Structure 1
Amino acid sequence: MGFNHSLLRFAGIASFSLLLAACSSSQVQEPDLPEHAYYEKAQQAFSEGLPATAAKNLQELDSRYPFGEFSTRAELDLIYAQYESGEYLSAHASAERFIKNHPDHDAIDYAYYMRALSTYVGSQSLLQRYLDTDPSKTDPKELQKAFREMSDFLQRYPNSDYAPDGKARMVFLRNTIARHELQVAKYYLKRKAPLSALKRSQAVIEHYPSSTSVEEALAISIQSYNDLKLDNLALLNLSVLQKTYPDSSHIDEQGNFIPLPLPSDADPSFWYWVSFGLIG
């Protein structure tokens, strides 16, 4: 009992000593700068091309003066600073936070735009993960997310100053995702999986009808139905192709369907689109 009592007493003294040390160390921390000083330091960092430093100062301002005079401006600037620093996930999170906290702000369209843009540009980096020898395993979900977010921004703020850029990026996203889907569909046709190929081609027709890939999607659908021995559905899709694209390269002079030449693994154009342009 005496030994245990001494041990507990020693532990109590040690804990108290650690508490005193912690208190003394906290006393030597540098005092906070005035709110405007953090904001000015951030603007100076921007002017010197140092967005990461700007982001650090803006985060300091936000944590020390969350309801200050510069807090809302700092939240907007932080989105841009993180984006310029390549911190796309952080920029996206900051944009979402601004949207939640300031739904009626004059610059809310900018927050929606930057949210979508952060996903869009971040997805370009994520494409490095898609370098797989089996294109059916690739997943363009980040590009699809960017497409949805940019569409949301344009629907909410069609007259925004950022709308023209958003529309241009939407066109690129639509065509890239659709082209990728078709190359994966061709991969399935090559691997004798026509049902999987059909699902990919039909997804393009349904979800990206204004893309540049609809004609080829119809052709893949026809070939998939032919491989599945569903002749009536193949003829139905052929009639749609003939009416919509009368000069299609997939139709001969007699109106018959021309089977698709399937790419080989060595075809650079095949891997170019499967990898979103990273190969070939």
Structure 2
Amino acid sequence: MGLLSNMSRTALISVLFFLLAGCASTPSDDIDLPERTYYDKAMEALDDNLPTTAARHLKDLETRYPFGELTERAKLDLIYAQFEAGDYIASHATAERFIRNYPNHIALDYVYYMRALSTYKGAETFLGRYLDLNPAERDANEYNKAFGEFADLLQRYPSSEYAPDAKARMIYLRNTIAQHEVQVAHYYFKRKAPLSALRRGQEVIQNYPSTPAVEEALAVTIQAYMDLGQLDLAKLNLSVLINSYPESRFVDDKQRFIPFELPREANPDTLYWVSLGLID
């Protein structure tokens, strides 16, 4: 009985061996194709609006022909394909590697631009893209990073064809970051933390003086100084607000500051309004 079992086991192993050998001899998709074939397949995929497929072909080319004639070009196209596929993290990483490996490449301005653009687009979250969420209500770290990367492009390649678009995006980013600071200040007001709100308002005034958010940032500082009992500083900033924005929505027709939130016991005739000494 033991002998038959051993023979059966041997026969089974032999069958499996021949089956595996047959599979190994069957052509598969893993067979290396000519370098140009991978590249052409990638370009066809891009033309057909299939960036994920294009990225796969370009990575296959890079893996199989690391020193091929089309390798550098394929790496540049891979940055774009990954970006178009919405894989902004991968696109950014590929751009970073290209910058390190080809520091003198003729198309390096394009790579710096795509690196910044990947960060910029990556900062637009799912909710921001599909639910029209105000970008100022999101975390601003990635926007700051994108701003710095666009600035890096402009510093290195001020005459680049991508410079105008980079400048326009930097203006938008500055405005968004400044508005974000104001939104955070409002959050601190709700948390009864006027000193933290004050710092956010001052951040906008000092570091983003040309943005539309400055008007509201001045109002933030006035509100914060009032809450902190520093009425002289509140009056000083109110005068700056009135002089800078004569039609400000934070000042009424008698040039009195309109607080963000009135205390429950207060009304427009109480000392909350006259504490700045600006009405008779």
1:92 aligned partner, one-letter code? H
Q: Which runs of 5+ in 2 are unaligned?
A: 1-16, 263-280
1:175 aligned partner, one-letter code? N
CA shift digits 1:151-206 (9 cap, x unpaired)? 22222222211122212222222212222221221232233221121121122123
Show the counterpart of 1:188: 188
How far, CA to CA, are the matches of 1:160 and 1:195 in structure 2? 43
**Cα RMSD, aligned residues only:** 2.9
Show the counterpart of 1:250: 250
Q: After TM superposition, give the deviation of residue 71 of structure 1 in Å.
A: 0.8
1:219 aligned partner, one-letter code? A
Q: After TM superposition, give the deviation of residue 57 of structure 1 in Å.
A: 0.7
Alpha-carbon distance change, 215 to 177 in structure 1, aligned in 2, over 3 angstroms: same
How far, CA to CA, are the matches of 2:137 and 2:52 in structure 1? 35
How far, CA to CA, are the matches of 1:202 and 1:115 in structure 2? 31
Show the counterpart of 1:94: 94
TM-score, length of structure 2 as denominator length: 0.75
How far, CA to CA, are the matches of 1:80 and 1:231 in structure 2? 55
State whether structure 2 residue 71 is matched by structure 1 residue 71: yes
Show the counterpart of 1:14: none
Matches for 1:16-27 after TM superposition, within 5 Å: none
8 Å Cα contact 2:138-2:180 kept in structure 1 = no
Matches for 1:104-123 after TM superposition, within 5 Å: 104-123=104-123
Matches for 1:159-170 after TM superposition, within 5 Å: 159-170=159-170
Taking CA–CA contacts closer than 8 Å with sequence separation of 6 or more, which of the two structures ends up with the larger relative contact order?
Answer: 1
How far, CA to CA, are the matches of 2:74 and 2:179 in structure 1? 40
Show the counterpart of 1:151: 151
| Identity, % of aligned positions | 58
How far, CA to CA, are the matches of 2:65 and 2:235 in structure 1? 68
Secondary structure, in 3 states, of the residue corresponding to 1:124?
Answer: coil
Number of aligned residue pairs: give it: 239
Show the counterpart of 2:51: 51
Show the counterpart of 1:206: 206
TM-score, length of structure 1 as denominator length: 0.75
Show the counterpart of 2:268: none
Alpha-carbon distance change, 196 to 25 in structure 1, aligned in 2, over 3 angstroms: farther
Show the counterpart of 2:5: none
How far, CA to CA, are the matches of 1:159 and 1:188 in structure 2? 43
How far, CA to CA, are the matches of 1:75 and 1:102 in structure 2? 11
How far, CA to CA, are the matches of 1:202 and 1:156 in structure 2? 31
Matches for 1:11-50 after TM superposition, within 5 Å: 30-50=30-50
Q: After TM superposition, give the deviation of residue 234 of structure 1 in Å.
A: 2.1
Q: Which runs of 5+ in 1 are unaligned?
A: 1-17, 263-280
State whether structure 2 residue 216 is matched by structure 1 residue 216: yes
Alpha-carbon distance change, 239 to 26 in structure 1, aligned in 2, over 3 angstroms: farther
Q: After TM superposition, give the deviation of residue 75 of structure 1 in Å.
A: 0.7
